[in-house]
Amino acid sequence: MTQEVEYDVVVLGGGPAGENVVDRTRAAGLSTALVEAELVGGECSYWACIPSKALLRPALARADARRVPGLAGAVGGPLDARAVFDHRDYWTGGWKDGGQHDWLASIGAHLHRGHGRLAGERRVAVEGPEGEHVLLAARHAVVVATGSRAVVPPLPGIAGARPWTSREATSAHRVPPRLLVVGGSVVAAEMATAWQALGSQVTVLVRGERLLPRMEPFAGELVAEALREAGAVVRTGVSAEAVVREEADGPVRVVLEGGEILEGDELLMATGRAPRTEDIGLETVGLEPGEWIAVDDGLRVPGHDWLYAVGDVNHRALLTHQGKYQARIAGAAIAARAAAGTAGRPDGAAAEPWGAYAATADTRALPQAVFTDPEAAAVGLTLAEAERAGHRVRAVDCDLGAVSGAGLYADGYRGRARMVVDLDREVLLGATFVGAGAAELVHAATIAVAGAVPIARLWHAVPAFPTISEVWLRLLEAYRDQGD
């Protein structure tokens, strides 16, 4: 007979989003169960953010050091790939989640290991690793946080070619002499940067006209330029039509549209994500298996006041920090509604944009940092997005390298910054920074965009001298001097 256990809250999926819901509901004193099929910590901890950044950090530090007089000579050699892999393995905990397990225990959350499926309203059925079954009943809420997985397009020959996805690209322990990368977005750009620095001869095959297509055009252009200088080949406007690997440990060949054939030792398909929803019982609550789960700004699934979805699975923003933001908001709302004794209670101002129970930043102030060389970081709208949305805007651009702090940071510092100003409200709608260290510049812009800080007040936010942040002064001066 299936055992049934009751909790206040059941969270399905223990990635960063699911974990943060648990953190909030436990802090509010609600009994909470977390169901996890693989490793607590999710994709981010073991096959995405953490291992990718651990691989990239030595590559970016070396690139920076090579531009510093007096230091360049000391870092001319290759990276010690084994030491880099050891560093990455340390940060993934050797793909073991003991630390996360202990943290869950320390906050009094209950971990159910196994595959979870919704089983009608407020119910989650868990199939454990030994085939055992448990039915979890939620008094207040079920939160789906099952994340996403890599999509591999069904090209002829692809299955037999055993391509890498982001999982292999972040966890491999051997440097392939030649790495072909299909895709042009964030995973492609970051992994091309890491593996070229680790010693692979990387060729990136971009279907579109540039790298990083969701950012301002200069971001992808500067990153492609630097990748080429590092020895990688970046080809745009090319389409992979078929893949061939004749022998298991032999080379892999990609056939391009037009018939050209490229050969590599490994092939990374960095071609996007799909929701992990095909086998989680969505059909038992009237939702479509295999689809992203649509939610309102309060992270609730319309028509089901007990059902929330946070993180990648709702497709609002496929980023760890944003999934955690959604989790904090959903967790707080669940706790408040539980305390009030009704899921349907009107939440007043808290449910309004920028209120405690609304994930407004997902659409209005979404930041992203891409850890390429140079780094590319942006928040809010690009110029094209702002124009498409019907805002009356002006873009102001600056050469990041012209700022004293950048010149002192590295010889020949190359970079660019743009702010997109709403001319009617005189506030920023977005900003983009591309250059070494740019990832740390974006949070100031996030505050300006989320806070709708007036341009007139930004003049009083004085950047320290000589930091790269002085680019803010250059941007404000350019805006002032350009007039309307």
Ligand X SMILES: Cc1cc2nc3c(=O)[nH]c(=O)nc-3n(C[C@H](O)[C@H](O)[C@H](O)COP(=O)(O)OP(=O)(O)OC[C@H]3O[C@@H](n4cnc5c(N)ncnc54)[C@H](O)[C@@H]3O)c2cc1C
Ligand Y SMILES: NC(=O)c1ccc[n+]([C@@H]2O[C@H](COP(=O)([O-])OP(=O)(O)OC[C@H]3O[C@@H](n4cnc5c(N)ncnc54)[C@H](O)[C@@H]3O)[C@@H](O)[C@H]2O)c1
Task: Quote the least distance from Cβ 321 to ligand Y, whole Å.
Answer: 8
Q: List the x/- string, 289-328, binding to ligand Y by CB under 6 A.
A: -----------------------------xx---------
Q: Return the one option of ligand X, ligand Y, none that residue 355 interacts with (CB less than 5 to 8 A, by type).
A: none
Q: How far apart are CA 248 and CA 245, in angstroms?
A: 7
Tokens of 352: 């309004």
Q: How far apart are CA 438 and CA 291, in angstroms?
A: 35
Residue 386 phi, psi dihedral angles, 5° rounding: -65, -40
Q: Which residues bind ligand X (CB under 6 A)?
A: 12-18, 35-38, 42-44, 48-49, 52-53, 115-116, 145-148, 166, 170, 187, 276, 280, 311-313, 318-321, 323
120 binds ligand Y per the rule CB under 6 A: no
160 is in an annotated binding site: no
Residue 449 phi, psi dihedral angles, 5° rounding: -75, -50
Choice from 186, 192, 223, 445 touching ligand Y (CB under 6 A): 186
33 binds ligand Y per the rule CB under 6 A: no
Rg, C-alpha atoms of the chain: 24
Q: How far apart are CA 331 and CA 326, in angstroms?
A: 8
142 is in an annotated binding site: no
Nearer to ligand Y, 35 or 234 (CB): 234
Q: List the x/- string, 386-405, binding to ligand Y by CB under 6 A.
A: --------------------
Task: Quote the least distance from Cβ 407 to ligand X, whole Å.
Answer: 28
Tokens of 283: 């059909």
Extended beta strands in 99-182, E state: 110-113, 115-118, 123-127, 133-144, 148-150, 178-182
Nearer to ligand X, 18 or 401 (CB): 18
138 binds ligand Y per the rule CB under 6 A: no
18 binds ligand Y per the rule CB under 6 A: no
Q: Return the one option of ligand X, ligand Y, none that residue 12 interacts with (CB less than 5 to 8 A, by type).
A: ligand X
Which whole-number Å values give the CA distances from 80 to 53, 59, 84, 318, in the listed order?
16, 11, 6, 32
Q: List the x/- string, 187-226, binding to ligand Y by CB under 6 A.
A: xx-x----------------xx----x-------------
Helices (H), 284-372: 320-340, 361-364
Farthest CA pair distance, the chain = 76
148 is in an annotated binding site: yes
153 binds ligand Y per the rule CB under 6 A: yes
Q: Return the one option of ligand Y, ligand X, none that residue 104 interacts with (CB less than 5 to 8 A, by type).
A: none
Q: 206 and 220 in contact (C-beta within 8 Å)?
A: no
Q: 65 and 19 in contact (C-beta within 8 Å)?
A: no
Q: 292 and 274 in contact (C-beta within 8 Å)?
A: no
Q: Which residue positions form the known binding site for FAD? A: 53, 116, 146-148, 312
**Contact footprint for ligand Y (CB under 6 A):** 153, 182-188, 190, 207-208, 213, 240, 270-273, 318-319, 368-371
